[in-house]
A and B are shown apart, each in its own frame.
Chain A
Amino acid sequence: MAAERLILSRTMRPTDLLTLTPAGLYCPPGDFYIDPLRPVPRALITHGHSDHARPGHGAVLATTETLAIMAVRCGEGFCGTRQAAVLGEPMRLGDVTVTFYPAGHVLGSAQILIEAGGCRIVNSGDYKREPDPTCTPFEPIACDVFITEATFGLPVFRHPPARDEVARLLDSVALFPERSHLVGAYSLGKAQRLAALLRAAGHDAPLYIHGAMERLMALYETLGVPLGDIRKVPTGKEAARTSFAGSIILCPPSATQEIWSRRFADPVTAFASGWMRVRARARQRGVELPLVVSDHADWEDLCTTVCETGASEIWVTHGEADALVHWCTNRGLTAKPLHLIGYSDDEEAAAADGVAAAAESEAPAENKPS
């Protein structure tokens, strides 16, 4: 039996180890899915964003932080059974070994290495290379097949250092001290990263947040990420008494254009996202202060990471796959797009965040997106 398995392993191709199914990437010898798009018996989850971490699975294996985030976002009963993965510790699942490594995307985010019969596949989930005070930095893992995102997979996307963008925000606050600054930021990851960067830049004033962010902000604090004085934007009469002049308010991106935002007199509308690199994108959304802060790898970092893994085969899950596949092919690598529908770019995630925001907030019924 052992000998048979060895023979099986030797002939194992990457596509035997990980195959594309309607529910997402599936590992037959381990009998699990990674970031499945619909409920499955066993799921490995790279990180807590709603397009990757969906409720309703039988068993879930993820980092402690990701499990906690899922419990906050989807409710305590988000799955049947859960198991915490420890970064860097190999685990045996069926006929394969899996190891979680940090991805640097958001708190708890991980890459997943799958090994069997000498073949190593790394599914990186979403990742970035830029330092982020709210999560463990990305580590390149040597592998044969590297599965990457390409959200910002075009050479026009080069993210500037996030601290410079935060400095621009603070400059604007200094220039318009009588106005509030309404900053659109995804509720998971971006909002906390901005808060931490603002603190690092010496901004000690209270940060106001939209109600939809309250629980995740609190969770980050609980998990040991200090964010300073965070206050929920008051409602009703108390809101009328509060002056937001000179304040920074973090909210889900869609909220900057919703009725909720009317309580702030003449705000400067900002949006922290990699998409803000493209002017037309910022203008379409009515953004006055675009902040190019992304939790995804930019073009240079995608290319750098592909090189550093030493992989000879690159699978691109979602995003601007064509350009990255072209670049890999030019370098003599085998590359293919997986066209995983359901993993969104930031904008769709924003829409999803917006729904959550409306549902969690005290907004009137007419505010709920139809």
Chain B
Amino acid sequence: MNRFAELLDRLAYEPRRNAKLRLMTAYFRETPDPERGFALAALTGALSFANAKPGVIRALIAERTDPVLFALSYDYVGDLSETVALMWPGPPPAGRPDPSPQREGSRGLASRGHNHPPAPTLTEVIEALTATLKPDLPHLIAGWLDGLDETGRWALLKLITGGLRVGVSARLAKTAVAELGGLDPDAIEEVWHGLEAPYEPLFAWVEGRGEKPEGASAVPFRPPMLAHALEEMDVAKLDPADFSAEWKWDGIRIQAVAGSRQGQREGRRQVRLYTRTGEDISGGFPDLIEAILLDPAFDGAIDGELLIMRDGLVQSFNVLQQRLNRKSVTPKLMAEYPAHIRAYDLLAQAGEDLRVLPFRGRRERLEAFVTGLATSRIDLSPLVPAASWEALTAARADPASAGGGADAAAIEGLMLKRHDSTYVPGRPKGPWFKWKRDPHTVDAVLMYAQRGHGKRSSLYSDFTFGVWRGPEGEEELVPVGKAYFGFTDEELSQLDRFVRQSTINRFGPVREVVHGRDSGLVLEVAFEGLQSSPRHKSGIAMRFPRISRIRWDKPPREADRIEFLEALLRGRN
């Protein structure tokens, strides 16, 4: 547990992706089974405990500390797990009297003249948290807390209360495992679903000591193939005749998989819905899962876009968001936001891996597959005529004119896929291109800047910008977004200089810069879309904002007004 706690502690403070990877790979290399496997489960979010909840922790600390001192401390630290971890009475240090009143009382007897138990291993902790009944938990947890140091207690409490929040995605943790054996992380993804903590066969395979743990799942996740953005110079080099074109829908990319284990009867069919990172989101979409489960023609894996369809019309991404990030959903929500899959590709069918086929061949199989389905929740993403660059340019600029029809507002752009492209996990250069519609832009005024992290820790690189609001003569700037990329290194150093020279106020790490009608800096901000957000003062949140140009030439009074964005928001919805 202490080694795992140390790892979490380092990860929590480490902003660099590669350094996080190294920390995890070193841990996996040095830590034996099954300990490292449970750590992997914790890092990938594969654990949850039914009985261990924050209430248990609150009760334990209340028995051991003065309420006034606890309240003052909690107020200062601001995080329950951390406060408890720091305040938990430890053994009195040798040679020091024991001055803390909280040690006097029932627990004082236990701590004095009593050997503290050794720190538990992560394996012991996870197995016990899974197996222990509610009434026995407080005693168990208290025993562990006695045996751990501050960092160990913090890690244990984070584990119990859920959400490690150390800035590690499941994908990154799997990448660290892959690096143990010099493998591609997609190789881990392929076998991941179907494996369980502590993943001993996985580690054995990665370290070259065992067979690839294949066939463990009837419904495996297959890492998706991704596209590069189409660059201006690509256009001249590429021949449209080599490509199929289709719409890029503004939903979330998913993979729907259904199948049954060999030897199992048809009734034991399993269905899974995965995100493009391999996260299993089946629990949030019982409507889709049931539709697929009851459709025996669906035996395989579809790569597609998750959308909300109402009366045959694709809804905007903002509408889809109501269904995302939910562990469970109500019937009402499902009725109001019916989930739908628009199919792009067929990766497997009836146990046959189709990824080795060229796109054209897979497309034929996909069309037949979707046509054969009984459910109306899955349809085919249509192809777009790709006769010439002129035709494609026109389709991209105005999808409605090229068959996008009533769904044109939900189209993000075009996808171009070589007819002969096999389905290769990752982002190979050449076979697939995405050609997004031009982003929206707004001229906004720089209001606040914050220092970045890691390599950018000495630079002001996170910029909050606003647009004008209010009646003429009394207008004021209201923040509408924050951007931290889009500029070159040279532009960043110019921005940094501007911030340092134009600071009018400081709030901790944040600087407020000059932003009046006649003085200040206008930034042209590009973004992909807007959504209404009651949490923001402006009522608007931007998707994917980045700084596209610095308008040193433009006076702030000529920046855009909020009405411009509000009109755009109404138009999109």
Contacts and interface: CB of A to CB of B under 8 A. Distances in A.
A259 B26 CA distance: 33
B451 interface: yes
A307 B99 contact: yes
Nearest to B511: A370
Contacts of A282: 13
B15 to A, nearest CB: 7
B119 to A, nearest CB: 15
B534 interface: no
A283 B82 CA distance: 14
B335 to A, nearest CB: 42
Contacts of B96: 300, 304
A130 B572 CA distance: 64
Contacts, number: 103
Interface stretch (A28-36, A208-216, A318-326, A337-345): A318-326
Interface residues on B, range: 35 or more
Interface stretch (A58-66, A80-88, A272-280): A272-280
Contacts of A257: 451, 457-458
The interface size bin for chain A is 35 or more
13 contacts: A155-B70, A155-B86, A155-B87, A158-B86, A261-B457, A266-B454, A266-B455, A278-B76, A288-B454, A300-B93, A323-B68, A323-B72, A323-B73
A282, A288, A304, A331 pick with most chain B CB within 10 angstroms:
A288
B451 A175 contact: no
Contact of A262 (B78, B79, B458): B458
B72 A322 contact: yes
4 A-B pairs with the lowest CB-CB distances in the bound complex, closest first: A303-B99, A156-B86, A286-B457, A156-B73
Interface in A221-270: 256-259, 261-262, 266, 269
B453 A286 contact: yes
B68 A326 contact: yes
Contacts of A279: 12, 79, 82
A286 B149 CA distance: 24
B13 A175 contact: no
A287 interface: yes
B73 A280 contact: no
Interface of B: 12-15, 19, 22-23, 26, 65-66, 68-70, 72-73, 76-79, 82-83, 86-87, 90, 93, 96-97, 99-102, 149-150, 451, 453-455, 457-458, 497, 500-501, 503, 508-509
A348 to B, nearest CB: 13
B82 to A, nearest CB: 6
Nearest to A366: B500
A312 B86 CA distance: 29
Most buried by B among A257, A278, A289: A278
B490 to A, nearest CB: 14
A119 interface: no
Contacts of B90: 158
B65 A155 contact: yes
Contacts of B22: 175
Nearest to B15: A288
A307 B98 CA distance: 10
B13 A290 contact: yes
A13 to B, nearest CB: 27
Contacts of B23: 175
B458 A303 contact: no
Given A290-B13, A326-B66, 19 more contacts: A154-B69, A154-B72, A155-B69, A155-B100, A158-B150, A259-B458, A261-B457, A266-B454, A278-B86, A279-B12, A280-B77, A286-B457, A287-B13, A288-B14, A289-B13, A300-B96, A300-B99, A303-B100, A326-B72
A155 B457 contact: no
Given A258-B458, A269-B457, A280-B79, A300 B100 contact: yes
